[in-house]
Amino acid sequence: MWCEPTVLVYALRDGEVLLMHRKQEPNLGLWIAPGGKLDPGESPYEAARREFTEETGLEAQDLKLRGLCTLVPFLKQYPWFIFVFVTTDFQGTLNADCEEGNLAWASLDMYFTTLPKPQADTIFAPRILTKAEGLFQAKFVYDAENELVEWIEHS
């Protein structure tokens, strides 16, 4: 079974996080971190730097791997393996509107409590973004209606 490797990059500044309001599937209408799939021969770190720049116009100067998440969807042939990075050091000019969605800064509180986001992100984002260090690892299992039915955190 093939695993679809992807990356997410959370950019943080002054209690805010940079998010994308998706305007296409997957995650249409939801707020997510910028990211995407690894290209052939690319490391997760290289993909995170590339995807972050392509989607935001910003260049991450530091990327810290903070999460490893496996999403096992019922309706897909393969699970997603997500490398979750965090950056607090970036430069450039933000491109607020990209092909995948509109970018905006939101307070961490707003992101955690009111913004609609994918079910797994509701669980892993607070754990990754509120701790200074450590690596969050978990598996998220979905049913035929694409509803989260189980998640297992690995210590």
pLDDT tens profile 84-116: 999 999 999 999 778 899 999 999 999 999 999
Average pLDDT (6-34) is 96
Q: The domain 4-154: what is its CATH number?
A: 3.90.79.10
Answer whether 34's CB lies under 8 Å from 51's CB. Answer: yes
Task: Kindly report whether the peptide bond that precedes residue 5 is cis, defined as omega within 30 degrees of 0.
Answer: no
Which is more confident, 87 or 131? Answer: 87
Q: Is the pLDDT of residue 3 over 90?
A: no
pLDDT (tens digit per residue) in 28-52 = 999 999 999 999 999 999 999 999 9
Q: Specify the pLDDT at position 155.
A: 74
